[in-house]
Amino acid sequence: MRGHRDLKWVCAAAVVAALVACLVPWETVRLLAALPLAVFLPGYAIAAAAFGSQRLDPQRLAMLTLLCGLSLLCLGGIVLNYLPGGLRTVTWALLLLLVVLATARAAALRRGKPDGPPSGWTRPRLRGIDIACVVLAAVVAVGALVFAYTPLPASKAVGYTALWMLPPKDAADPALKVGVISAEQGRRHYRLEARVGENGKPTRYHLALDPDEERVIEVPVETPAGKRTQVVVSLYDSERPHQLYRRVTTWTAGSQPGEG
Amino acid sequence: MSSRDSRASGRRQRLLAAGPSPLALIVLSAAVGLLLCAYTNALSREGGDPTQLVYWAGVLLVVVPIAARVGMEDVSLRERFALVALFGLSLYAIKVIRDPFLFTFPDEPIHAYNANQAMLHHGLFNGNPILPVTSGYPGLASATSALMSLSGLSSFTAGVILIGLARLLLVLALFVLFTRVSGSHRLAGVAVVIYAGSSNFLYWGVQYSYESLSLPLLVAVLAAFAEREAAGSRLARAWVVPIVLGTLAVVVTHHLTSYALVLVLVLLAVIYRLVRSPKPNPWPFAVFAAVLAVGWMLIAAGNTVDYLSPVFSDAVTSIWNTVFGESEARGLFQSASAEIVHETPFVARLITLAAAGLLLAGFLAGLREAWARRSKRPFVVLFCIGGAAFFATLGLRFAPDAWETGNRAGMYLFIGLAFVVAYAVLRLMREGPRQRLREAAALGSIGIVVIGGAIAGWPWDSQLAQPTRITAEGAEIESEPITLARWIGEQLPERRFAAADADARMILAPGEAEAQTGNALAIKTILPETSLSNWELPSLRGNGLGYLVADRRKAATDPGRGSYFFVPGSEENALLPLAAMHKFGERRLGRVYDSGNIVVFNLRNRP
């Protein structure tokens, strides 16, 4: 690849990007490496290998880079699917790196002699006022995206509360997990009643939840061995304390002696 | 010219030279357009009722300046290319701005589930409970999983980036294709802008779905093919590499696009023969693509026929019945879930009809000039046929079960239409008397065509964002179906559900659990009815489903509208009768989750 500066840069960038994608924990940094590694570098290298010493104009090169890069991504997963390891960070990084190195090598061989004089592509001359205009546009566009990605209050949207109940994950644990999630528009007060068995005395809990707050309570249940007991958990909103707001129910089975 | 006139003209030119370049101003205009769209969407998410005029003004701020500039004569190839890229990405950003938090378009969660499953199992072909055929075409899941694996991003963010790249490829490939076929990058730029008038360009075509990736690949393959045709023998061989690679990618990504590619290549082979083109006939490529498409269907996607055959047979039956008066024709601006759709305003309907009329006028006006080049460029014949076929598919919109087929076919046929109409636009902009007036008419028409296409392709009440995530006292809360999906993802160990369409999609992604819906196991019938038959619950249990999600919201059956916050008074927020929920309680099923409108029943938890 001696003398082919573009190919050398592509290979070096692919190696660095693969290392960053595999080793760095921060998503944003990894994305900056992942995009070139996944799309642009393989796409460029494949196009370079296909066209050898023929120079492509920027628009055809851009199209080919995207076409080859995206096509490789569509097909690469199918190849990895049948290889040991499957689709993982390391296997994807290795596959893409191998494609870049192999096709860059092929491109260098096909080109033959090193880079000649620079191609007809010239960097556009930018004036200060144009740069200012584009920077302003970038600020406005970023502002639009930030605006879009910022959740706003919506007074007309109806908030709600979710009540849930799940059996314990461990059979030895006799408590049911009961959760209350508030997605209400403001702080709410609740009364929670858990009744074990049809004639059981309800256990009461009083909760106050802010929007997006969740409270999980463990409701102890003792079920006689071999029997099934109904557990009913009811939630009342303090604004309407006598009107049932939410209800969940379950039937628990008592463990046989010796089951723990 | 008097000396005063020449001085004024000189002054104007100096002022223009000192000011920003047109490209910089257009970039700024597009950014302001995006800001307007973001502002209107934000108002809509707030639950307000913003005037859509501001939104459409934002869209026009993106479209019209670019259309004006690419239509000018003295613009360099490089600038036109940059404008086309800006055009594609800016219009894509409008969709991103509409749905910034999660996928809400009908097919998006289905494909996000495929990508998540690929990550989870480190492999492809994991099956899909709602749209099984998608699992046999894993190109999109493969590409998304690559970005997810390498960057650590979610399927949502990786998908948004991937479709953005696909959109960029689409506009660049269209530009290269049109430039090569017409020999004019001016015409190519105008044709790309006109292509945005396709009814699926603004929204449907950029949802996170396999066709959104495969269509750009198809266009790029055609562009590479056109380049190969024009290249010398040495360079022609080089173009084979991207053509083969792209064809393979199309075949593993989307069934219909791969068949469309085969059809296009076969048509080209026939046209080459008919016009006695001196270039080598492309039939080997047609055979190659056909063998790949059929081979892939047989080897990896055997359920494709089961999936597609009802779509086409229903369409044919529907056309027959509509033509012979056996069933009522479908009204325009009406979707399948008509009972909960807002009516499209009269002005919007008028714009859409005007767009169709302008396209027809443009097609007829541009046809002669385009057709004159048929002997040199077989692609021109293909485009003319495509443009004419587009108008034929408009008729399908009157047949209830065929309108979607027509709408989807439009994405492909519009490529030809845009090419032919661009000739008419350039003719209108030609130098001569009243040039300014004619240019303004051309730009106005392009604006109408783009807006009309967007209105035709997407329900009026869904053009703007609806609330899915809002703030309340400084905290962020999400809509009922989304909270349910996240709860399922975090808490429920067993992960097979029966649910209404919208809920099922949320359960797939972001819930990352398995959900059946629609006609599968009669779920569509079981959920809204007010009493249960004895066979229904055992049937669900017998098919391995552990939970049933009952949702009182009628919008839950609408995958396009069912993931939003409940806003009282809006038509789409009508409720089912309470009996539809109580019927499960009467069977004494365990209730594991209750958020008011949504209740989850445990099908196996009984006395």
What residues of B are in contact with residue A38 (Cβ under 8 Å)?
146-147, 150
The verdict on a CB contact (< 8 Å) between A212 and B238 is no
Burial class (CB in 10 A: 0-12, 13-18, 19+), B354: middle
Q: Distance (Å) from the C-alpha of residue A25 to the closest C-alpha of chain B?
A: 8
Residues contacting residue A249 through CB under 8 Å, at least 6 positions apart: A165, A230, A231, A232, A233, B590, B591
Phi–psi pair at A250, nearest 5 degrees: -155, 160
Helix axis angle, B378-394 relative to B155-182, nearest 10°? 120
Split into its structural domains, chain A has a count of 2
* Residue after which a domain boundary falls, among A94, A120, A146: A120
What residues of A are in contact with residue B189 (Cβ under 8 Å)?
none
Res B430: pLDDT: 87
The whole-number average pLDDT for the span B52-68 is 96
Q: In this complex, which of B46, B101, B119 lies closest to A153 when CB atoms are compared?
A: B46
| β A152-153/B469-472 pair status | parallel
Q: Distance (Å) from the C-alpha of residue B568 to the closest C-alpha of chain A?
A: 7
Res A1: pLDDT: 64
The verdict on a CB contact (< 8 Å) between A63 and B45 is no
The CATH number linked to A230 is 2.60.40.10
- Identify whether A134 is part of a domain: no
Residue type, B217: L
Burial class (CB in 10 A: 0-12, 13-18, 19+), B101: middle
Res B587: pLDDT: 86
Question: Cα separations (Å) of B495 from B487, B488, B589?
Answer: 12, 8, 17
Res A259: pLDDT: 41
- Is there a single domain that holds both residue A86 and residue A191? no
The verdict on a CB contact (< 8 Å) between B252 and A75 is yes
- Is there a single domain that holds both residue A114 and residue A167? no
- Identify whether A112 is part of a domain: yes
Write a three-state SS string for A87-118.
Answer: CCHHHHHHHHHHHHHHHHHHHHHHHCCCCCCC
- Identify whether A155 is part of a domain: no
- Identify whether A184 is part of a domain: yes
The verdict on a CB contact (< 8 Å) between A77 and B19 is no
CB pairs A-B closer than 8 Å: 347
Do B454 and B201 contact (CB within 8 A), yes or no? yes
Residue with tokens 């399922």: B488
* Residue after which a domain boundary falls, among A96, A120, A144: A120
Domain ranges of chain B: 469-602
DSSP lists the bridge partners of residue A166 as A177
Residues contacting residue B381 through CB under 8 Å, at least 6 positions apart: B271, B274, B275, B371, B374
Q: Which is it for the CA torsion B46, B51, B52, B57, positive or negative? A: negative
- Identify whether A110 is part of a domain: yes
- Is there a single domain that holds both residue A90 and residue A171? no
pLDDT higher than 90, residue B501: yes
What residues of A are in contact with residue B21 (Cβ under 8 Å)?
127, 130, 133
Helix (H, G, I), strand (E, B) or coil at A121: coil
Report the residue count for chain A: 260
The verdict on a CB contact (< 8 Å) between A246 and B239 is no
Domain range for A85: 5-120
CA atoms lying within 13 Å on the CB side of residue B269: 14
What residues of A are in contact with residue B78 (Cβ under 8 Å)?
58-59, 124
Q: In this predicted model, what pLDDT tens digit does every residue of B162-198 receive, in sequence order? A: 999 999 999 999 999 999 999 999 999 999 999 999 9
Q: In this predicted model, what pLDDT tens digit does every residue of B130-150 receive, in sequence order? A: 999 999 999 999 999 999 999
- Is there a single domain that holds both residue A18 and residue A110? yes
The verdict on a CB contact (< 8 Å) between A74 and B125 is no
CB contacts under 8 A, A 47-86 vs B, are: 47, 49-52, 54, 57-60, 62-64, 66-68, 70-78, 81, 85-86
**For every one of its 260 residues, what pLDDT tens digit does chain A have, with 9 covering 90 and above?**
667 889 999 999 999 999 999 999 999 999 999 999 999 999 999 999 999 888 889 999 999 999 999 999 999 999 999 999 999 999 999 999 999 999 999 999 988 776 555 555 566 677 889 999 999 999 999 999 998 999 999 988 899 999 999 987 666 677 889 999 999 999 999 999 999 888 888 899 999 999 999 999 998 887 777 678 889 999 999 989 999 999 999 988 765 544 43
Res B47: pLDDT: 76
- Is there a single domain that holds both residue A116 and residue A16? yes
Residues contacting residue B333 through CB under 8 Å, at least 6 positions apart: B343, B344, B349, B352, B456, B460
The whole-number average pLDDT for the span B346-351 is 92
- Is there a single domain that holds both residue A17 and residue A116? yes
Q: Classify residue A214 as left (phi > 0), alpha (psi -120 to 50) or beta.
A: beta
Q: Distance (Å) from the C-alpha of residue B210 to the closest C-alpha of chain A?
A: 11
- Is there a single domain that holds both residue A112 and residue A183? no
* Residue after which a domain boundary falls, among A120, A142, A168: A120
